[in-house]
Amino acid sequence: MVNNEIPLGIMDNLAQSFGVTVPALKLLLGIIAGYPFALTYRKYIFNQSEQKQCFYLIACGLTIGFWNYGYGMFHCVLSILVTYAFIHLLKGIVMISVVFAFNFIYLLAGYFYSSTDSYDITWTMPYCILVLKLIGVAFDVYDGARPKEKLSSDALKTALSEPPSLLQMLGHSLFPSACLVGPQFSMRRFLDFTGGKFHFMGPNGEFLPPDSAKWAAVRFCMGVFYVGLFQILSLFVYDDLIISEEFASMSFIKRMLMLGVWGRYIMYKYISCWLLAEGACVLFGISYSGEDGGVKKWDGVENIKLSVFENSTEFNHYIMSFNVNTNQWVAQHIYKRLKFLGNRYYSQGGVLLFLAVWHGLHTGYYLTFLHEFIVIYTERDLQSIIKSSETLTAFFGHPVVKSGMHILLRLYTFVFMGWFLLPFTYLQFPKYWRAFSNCSYIGFLVFYLWPVLYRPILRKVIKKKKSA
């Protein structure tokens, strides 16, 4: 009997044993590769010249990039070179506009030609991280040429008095522990790092590497822990669970609870990668954020605030704790620069549209960020109504009610985070609309009816109470 099966390679076998795809496994190994590169840096490179440090970081970043995406990394290198030329040849608003337009058009073209109907791990993944870095450098160079009194406090910290060199651009863009999934950090932080500002002197006056190994180990262990949680949850849920007949046949209560578990399963994929990447950044030492009571802090590139995330009682807590560095980047470079619109909601809408386009062309991304706008608007509006009513404030301030509400709100955020992620995960309209149907359109009934139904009713009830 002839065996016509094609023998599987090592990566294929490993991927099958972990229940993931080969690109996903290579991505995880690429993130973990940041640790040996960081150890080598601490041992041999940290006290070398800035040029030698940049050469080392570039070599490591390219190695990781080519391991994951092969010649697709040339797209990233090309964009770095072109952006470098624009920053040095152009000035002011023209420079910002050209850098912004070039990188976004290139990214969207990449999405158009390489994306499928599911979440893709291709060269566009590191490139979408790179786009923010390159646009951020352009903004920082632009801010460096402006009067200081016109800059925000954030811009003052990151402004560059002169454009970076090509080595600095490449080293910052290809930083080995941040080039695949982030975290974002400014060119100013990178220059302080390669300039030795995050290192320290030993008792005998010797130059020592960053004192960050213990915190790096903590974040690494947390990353491994969340990888473990993800694997455990994968025994009960899977990506396509919500659009399955199995899910549709469950009772309403069970569907809502499973929706919450599925949402955690999806989120833990991102959290575990961010923790592992952050741990490698900490080991390099680029995460230094000052001292607190004489103790050095290493949370400067923290991308997930676990205590806030795991104890969320409103969706704003998720926003504050999830993908922190990207949110900070968007707040500094997009939200604050849209003040000329004169309306907070217009600025928020502009930010969410930017994020949707940045993520890709699938309609699911745009609906996800529309969800975010509606959910945050609903929560803030409800909170404002409660604060404006003495009766409601007193009622919800009662210790017993407060304790009960805390439990309900924890359950609310747990369940609806799953609903929130449906279009982000399924991307295509037929899939995520089936998911909404299987979830009884619960999110639309709760949030989208708020401004047209629930809010007017609540206002009338409060008004009657006051008049009585």
Concatenated DSSP letters of 183-202: ----HHHHHHHHTTTT-EE-
Cβ of 258: how many Cβ atoms within 10 Å?
20
- Residue 244 phi/psi, 5-degree rounding, is -90, 160
Max CA distance (Å), the chain: 89
Amino acid at residue number 395: F
Catalytic residue among 75, 172, 333, 359: 359
- DSSP at 444: I
Instruction: For residue 375, give every residue at least 6 positions away whose Cβ sits within 8 Å of its Cβ, in sequence order, or none.
Output: 315, 416, 420, 447
CA dihedral (94, 100, 106, 109) positive or negative: negative
Concatenated DSSP letters of 357-381: HHH-S-HHHHHHHHHHHHHHHHHHH
Catalytic residue among 103, 323, 325, 327: 323
Asked about 359 being catalytic, the answer comes back as: yes
What distance in Å separates the CA atoms of residue 171 and residue 307, rounded to the nearest whole number? 32
Per-residue CA distances from 205 to 193, 201, 202, 232 (Å)? 19, 5, 5, 49
Q: What is the dihedral of CA 427, 424, 448, 419, to 10 degrees?
A: 110
Asked about 311 being catalytic, the answer comes back as: no
Amino acid at residue number 346: Y
Residues designated catalytic: 323, 359
